Amino acid sequence: MQAAWLRQMTGGSFPLQEKLALLWHNHFATSSVKVTRCLYRPPPS
């Protein structure tokens, strides 16, 4: 699985976007426990 993901990142149609997504994927991640005010709330299912 990891090899397929690496091939997609380096040999796909958008290698720069894939590398940027990898770079930033954890930068904006946060725990839902830390979020005290939500600007967008999806409609109830």
Determine the pLDDT at residue 39: 74
Do residues 9 and 22 touch, judged by C-beta distance below 8 A? yes
**Per-10-residue mean pLDDT for the chain, 45 residues long?**
78 85 73 70 73
Q: Residue 13 has which token pair?
A: 């149609």
Determine the pLDDT at residue 35: 67
Determine the pLDDT at residue 15: 85
Burial group, residue 37, by CB count within 10 angstroms (0-12, 13-18, 19+): exposed
Confidence (pTM): 0.45
Do residues 9 and 15 touch, judged by C-beta distance below 8 A? yes
Determine the pLDDT at residue 3: 85
